[in-house]
């Protein structure tokens, strides 16, 4: 029997078997890593996606057999550490994903390896700290503390100290914290009549996200303004915790489960009441749409939330198709250089942000669809900062080539990273929701 080169069926994804003992068995993990690494060595399609694959192929080249079987097992971790779980190899390149019999799910294998590492306690204080976005945000946004934290994050001597002691690279521009947190200053308006569309619920619940709540509340306020302008009743989710993505990336799956238990009951009630749930951070949306359903495949509440969860532009463009979105824009934007982040691409819904931006008169949109290389907390770490800037270099060039008026990414963290990579220039960095708010003249 021959093995078909690539699958003709639509890709599927197996649930993550994270509660089984085998999942954490290091020998079984190493067997699976060797099997998949060997397939990748023979394929090499992903060589330019990130630094995990070049690391693997370097290890093959250095091995005495020039094959995967010659790589010492303890070196496998060097590949795992380079993976920041962007999912691009699974979603855009790999012909051997299920239902193909080779059953390659490279990101989830890396996730399993990270979970094994976490369970063995081989995770640094820095990594635990950086992934505690909610706790960090709560602390750093306390009035007075916030000024100290923001000043310290800009002070070269403090940053050198943080680099040496914590492993947070001194040159990474860190986002500021805001004491006027989104959740305590948000003014949602639920007074409008609910108009369900053919494809869209007529009322919206906004899941704030840690980043919008503590770092850039303006993005959340802009989303609420856009909803109100379109007479869509909105509320802010009454109670929320971090979506769990930073803990997932760390391999701390028990913490993901704890956060899921805090969020899902509240969100499931909203889903069943007919709300569309919107989050303005693609990684958080992906967490609810994809990762939690794969971790909890039999949980009806998780499935209900996944069904109700929308990227804001996915919702707004569907609303437009339902004939229920205002499309009179008062303010042209000129040239917009727009970046599609990986965690939005893997949601498989097309370029909804670009579609909406292109409806604005006298606005040209240049779209860049490549990994920018920041990837959550990965690009903040001292040992990965240089690689993060290197991965981003083609994006920085493509984004600035058109001499834009605005640079923009749905991922606010990627937007900051791109701004840092471009360095100076005339272009303003604005989130796409802010651009829509400006274009509406709000």
Is residue 372 at the binding interface for ligand SF4, with CB under 6 A as the rule?
Answer: no
Q: Which stretch binds ligand SF4 (CB under 6 A): 85-93, 261-269, 345-353, 402-410?
A: 85-93
Q: Which is nearer to ligand SF4, 96 or 406 (CB)?
A: 96
CB of residue 430 vs ligand SF4: minimum separation in angstroms? Answer: 27
H-only helix segments in 75-215: 76-82, 88, 106-119, 125-130, 133-140, 145-154, 156-166, 182-185, 210
The count of residues interacting with ligand SF4 (CB under 6 A) is 24
Please select the residue that binds ligand SF4; options are 71, 80, 104, 280, rule is CB under 6 A. 104
Tokens of 261: 């238990």
Q: How far apart are CA 275 and CA 267, in angstroms?
A: 9
Q: Is 1 helix (H, G, I), strand (E, B) or coil?
A: coil
Q: Which stretch binds ligand SF4 (CB under 6 A): 46-54, 162-170, 184-192, 433-441?
A: 46-54
Please select the residue that binds ligand SF4; options are 14, 44, 73, 272, rule is CB under 6 A. 44
Q: How far apart are CA 442 and CA 121, in angstroms?
A: 50
Show contacts with ligand SF4 in window 240-269 (CB under 6 A): none
Show contacts with ligand SF4 in window 186-225 (CB under 6 A): none
Is residue 46 at the binding interface for ligand SF4, with CB under 6 A as the rule?
Answer: yes
Nearest to 99 by CA among 7, 36, 33: 7
Q: How far apart are CA 271 and CA 273, in angstroms?
A: 5
Is residue 60 at the binding interface for ligand SF4, with CB under 6 A as the rule?
Answer: no
Spatial CB neighbours of 342, under 8 Å, sequence gap ≥ 6: 86, 87, 88, 371, 375
Show contacts with ligand SF4 in window 107-166 (CB under 6 A): 107, 110
Q: Which residues partner with 101 through β-bridges?
A: none
Q: Which stretch binds ligand SF4 (CB under 6 A): 39-47, 176-184, 265-273, 398-406?
A: 39-47
Q: How far apart are CA 13 and CA 387, in angstroms?
A: 29
Tokens of 297: 């495949």
Q: Which stretch binds ligand SF4 (CB under 6 A): 92-100, 241-249, 275-283, 311-319?
A: 92-100
Is residue 414 at the binding interface for ligand SF4, with CB under 6 A as the rule?
Answer: no
Antiparallel, parallel or unpaired: β 406-409 and 204-206: unpaired
CB of residue 86 vs ligand SF4: minimum separation in angstroms? Answer: 4
CA 298-11-348 angle, to 5 degrees, is 85
Q: Which is nearer to ligand SF4, 33 or 83 (CB)?
A: 83
Please select the residue that binds ligand SF4; options are 84, 207, 296, 396, rule is CB under 6 A. 84
By CB under 6 A, name the binding residues for ligand SF4.
Answer: 39-40, 43-46, 49-50, 52-53, 83-89, 93-94, 96, 104, 106-107, 110
């Amino acid at each position: 029997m021959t093995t078909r080169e690539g699958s003709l069926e639509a890709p599927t994804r197996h649930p993550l078997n994270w509660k089984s003992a085998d999942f954490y068995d290091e020998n079984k993990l190493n067997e699976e890593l060797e099997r998949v690494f060997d397939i990748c060595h023979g394929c090499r399609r992903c060589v330019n996606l990130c630094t995990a694959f070049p690391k693997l192929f370097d290890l093959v080249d250095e091995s005495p057999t020039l094959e995967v079987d010659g790589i010492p097992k303890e070196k496998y971790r060097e590949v795992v550490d380079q993976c920041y779980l962007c999912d691009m190899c699974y979603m855009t390149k790999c012909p051997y994903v299920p239902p193909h019999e080779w059953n390659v799910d490279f990101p989830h294998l890396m996730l399993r390896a990270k979970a094994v590492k976490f369970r063995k306690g081989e995770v640094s204080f820095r990594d635990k700290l950086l992934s505690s976005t909610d706790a960090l945000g709560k602390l750093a946004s306390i009035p007075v503390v916030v000024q100290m934290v923001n000043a310290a994050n800009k002070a070269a001597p403090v940053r050198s100290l943080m680099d040496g002691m914590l492993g947070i690279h001194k040159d990474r521009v860190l986002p500021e914290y805001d004491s006027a947190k989104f959740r305590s200053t948000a003014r949602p308006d639920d007074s409008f009549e609910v108009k369900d569309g053919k494809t869209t619920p007529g009322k919206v619940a906004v899941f704030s996200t840690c980043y919008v709540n503590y770092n850039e509340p303006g993005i959340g306020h802009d989303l609420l303004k856009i909803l109100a302008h379109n007479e869509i009743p909105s509320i802010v989710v009454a109670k929320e915790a971090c979506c769990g993505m930073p803990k997932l990336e760390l391999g701390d799956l028990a913490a993901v489960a704890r956060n899921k238990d805090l969020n899902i009951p509240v969100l499931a009630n909203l889903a069943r009441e007919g709300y569309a749930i919107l989050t303005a951070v693609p990684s958080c949306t992906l967490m609810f749409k994809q990762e939690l359903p794969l971790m909890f495949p039999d949980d009806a509440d998780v499935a209900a939330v996944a069904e109700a969860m929308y990227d804001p532009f996915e919702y707004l463009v569907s609303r437009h198709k339902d004939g229920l979105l205002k499309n009179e824009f008062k303010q042209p934007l000129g040239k917009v250089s727009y970046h599609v982040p990986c965690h939005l691409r893997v949601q498989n819904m097309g370029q909804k942000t670009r579609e909406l931006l292109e409806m604005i008169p006298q606005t040209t949109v240049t779209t860049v669809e490549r990994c920018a290389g920041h990837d959550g907390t990965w690009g903040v770490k001292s040992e990965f900062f240089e690689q993060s800037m290197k991965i981003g270099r083609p994006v920085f060039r493509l984004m600035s080539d058109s001499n834009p008026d605005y640079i923009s990414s749905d991922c606010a963290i990627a937007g900051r990273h791109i701004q840092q990579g471009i360095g100076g220039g005339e272009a303003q960095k604005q989130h796409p929701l802010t651009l829509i708010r400006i274009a509406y003249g709000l």
